[in-house]
Amino acid sequence: MNTNGFREGAKAALPVILGYLPVGITFGILARQAGLTSLEVGMMSLFVYAGASQFLAIEMISKGLPTFSIVLATFFINLRHLLMSSNLSVYLKNVRIPLLGILSAQLTDESYAVAVSKLPLVKDKPRYLLGLQMVSQVAWIGGSAAGALFGSLTTGTGWGLPFALPALFICLLVLQVKNAHHVWVMVIAGILSVFFKWLLPGSWYILLTALFASGAGMMIERVWRRNA
Amino acid sequence: MEEERVSESMLILILGMGLVTFLPRFVPMAFLSRWIFPEKLRAGLNYFPVAILSAIVFPSLFTDGNQVGIQSQHFLAAIPVFLFAWRVKSLWGSVLLGMAAYGLLGFVL
């Protein structure tokens, strides 16, 4: 196994860092305003490491909602990782369970998206994924700690920073579209996801869209093959 | 820094959230990596990345909370990023272009 896999992965994390730092800083500032100490902010980013859930949690904390309801909401928001984890499992056949534990604990939407854009590098090379995800989480913890400690000194949302992660996802989506089937799946998923988000609370829209749109992709593939 | 402490209720919350975020990430990776997928399921998995990424991108452009509607600053900033990503395929470039476009639109809109 070569050690450079880790370094390559760490390099691939650079665009993710650019997105995580400002969002992490924002989280740190808001969490302090909701009454968390800087240490609690850092621990949450270390043990939970889920952006949307962490923002929702501090929102619910400041409204005085009970712990159980926050944990439940977190659970439902993060169910979407079931699918991403299933998807990556195909490429991590020979990895031992303790290492899989670390790799899965650091799985995020962003690291998943970067990983599937570099599948030949990820396949059976856990060090690449480890480098990518380790550096990403360090940026997240560092950003949220910085926001918590020095947040009162900055304003946060200037410089187009709120669009760093959306732009990252747009590019990662475009990189995934490789043939006409993918274009159809993208269009179907785009429409379904907006509809499901309008219809349902939480992040069910991601889970349902992923299932229905990839099902639709399989059907399209079958019909086209029959007509070819 | 006497304020740097962790309250008991916050510790319970953080560990609870940690557990429920860990399980959906860990369980499929741990079990499915030891399982050979049927061919049909594998074909479906090919479409997962496009479907999941679309479900992340499009609602950020076309919904606001639970309301359907164009998010003009996001939407307009997304157009050059789509074109750039498609032609140049650079992650870094897309992020920087997106931030610049979004920042400029902030002045105009």
Q: Could you state, in order of their start, the residue ranges of all structural domains in chain A?
A: 4-160, 177-228
pLDDT at residue A15 in the model: 92
Dist CA B21 CA A93 (whole Å):
22
Predicted confidence at residue A2, as pLDDT, reads 54
pLDDT score of A228 more than 80: no
pLDDT for the residue B3 = 61
Q: Tell me the chain A residues in contact with residue B43 when contact means C-beta distances shorter than 8 Å.
A: 218, 221
More confident residue, B98 or A64: B98
Helix axes A164-176, B91-108, angle to 10 degrees: 130
Please write the tens of the pLDDT for every residue from A68-98: 989 998 998 888 899 899 999 999 988 999 9
pLDDT at A17 over 80: yes
- The per-residue pLDDT for A104 is 97
Q: What is the pLDDT of residue B67?
A: 85
pTM: 0.81
Which pLDDT band holds residue A3 (cuts at 50, 70, 90)? Answer: low
Task: Assign A202 a pLDDT band (cuts: 50, 70, 90).
Answer: confident
Yes or no, beta carbons of A172 and B53 under 8 Å apart: yes
Residues above pLDDT 90, as percent of chain A: 64
B2 has a pLDDT exceeding 60: no
Span A56-71, mean pLDDT?
A: 88
User: Which band of pLDDT confidence, cut at 50, 70 and 90, is reported for residue A151?
Assistant: confident
Test B6 with A40 for CB contact under 8 angstroms.
yes
Q: Which of A83-97, B6-20, B31-45, B89-103 has the lowest mean pLDDT?
A: B31-45
pLDDT at position A225 is 86
- Find which of B53, B63, B96 to mutate to test the A interface (most A CBs within 10 Å of its CB): B53
Among B12, B92, B100, beta carbon nearest to A160 = B100
Q: Is the pLDDT of residue A187 over 90?
A: yes
Q: Quote the DSSP letter at residue B38.
A: P
What sign for the dihedral angle of Cα A178, B56, A69, A34? positive
Quote ipTM for the complex.
0.86
Of A48, A112, A163, the CB nearest to B77: A163
Residue B100 pLDDT: 94
CA–CA distances in Å: residue B49 to residues A216, A217, B45: 14, 12, 8
Q: How far apart are CA A206 and CA B64, in angstroms?
A: 16
- Determine, for residues A104 and B5 on separate chains, whether the beta-carbon distance falls below 8 Å: no
What are the domain boundaries of chain B? 8-108
**pLDDT tens-digit readout, A33-54:** 889 999 999 999 999 999 889 9
Amino acid at B91: L
